[in-house]
Amino acid sequence: MSQISSIAVVSATSRVDSTTAQIVAHYRDMLERNHGCSSELLDLKELPLDFLNAVLYQKDRNSHPGWASWQSKVNAADKFVFVIPEYNGSFPGILKCFVDALQFPRSLRGKKASMIGISDGTQGAALAMSHFGDVLNYAGVTTLALRPRFIEVNKHWDGQRFSNPIYQNLFEEHVKQTVGM
């Protein structure tokens, strides 16, 4: 807590024009403005075009130049924020593919992470965060207990910040607890 952490914020979908990516941008802005913390962006939309064929579940993936920079950024971070949209009642498949491609166990073991869940419906990615929390735990990552569920997000997000002050306060509390963990 007294050391400077290197924080990476993960936009956990590869869908274009996602609300998730907007919320990630706001998260990084809050880290900077409220806490003076710069952060690394890991936007899964930017994974190499041949990720599925040349990286995922490939033994020689670490020599893939487009992937090597992702692995390096993960190695350099000691704290992760995952902004997770709910897809089919769980996390997006691409998020687990990303984790599956990382070197195990050195990429994540002993590090820290927090999660935020968003959904258009009313579940708020509760199961998504339970499932992904199990994955993080398996990887040896300590997770923040506070896991906000932003339900019916499109009613409460104006493109740049939460229009609902309860959501915005909870969001800023999450940023604060993530910095402090």
The residues binding its own copies (CB under 8 A) are 13-16, 47, 49, 51-53, 56-57, 87-100, 104, 122-124, 126-127, 130-131, 133-147, 149, 151, 181
Sorted by sequence, the CB contacts under 8 Å of residue 108 that are 6+ apart come out as 74, 80, 99, 102, 136, 139, 140, 141
Q: How far is the CB of 158 from its own copies (least distance, A)?
A: 21
Q: Which is nearer to its own copies, 32 or 57 (CB)?
A: 57
Q: Which is nearer to its own copies, 19 or 143 (CB)?
A: 143
Q: How far is the CB of 33 from its own copies (least distance, A)?
A: 26
Q: How far is the CB of 32 from its own copies (least distance, A)?
A: 25
Q: How far is the CB of 64 from its own copies (least distance, A)?
A: 14
CA distances from 136 to 2, 54, 110, 131, 133 (A): 24, 24, 10, 9, 5
Q: Which is nearer to its own copies, 60 or 65 (CB)?
A: 60
Q: Which is nearer to its own copies, 52 or 68 (CB)?
A: 52
Q: Which is nearer to its own copies, 29 or 43 (CB)?
A: 43
CA distances from 152 to 119, 137, 142 (A): 6, 28, 28
Sorted by sequence, the CB contacts under 8 Å of residue 62 that are 6+ apart come out as 68, 71, 103
CA distances from 117 to 48, 154, 177 (A): 25, 13, 16
Q: How far is the CB of 53 from its own copies (least distance, A)?
A: 5
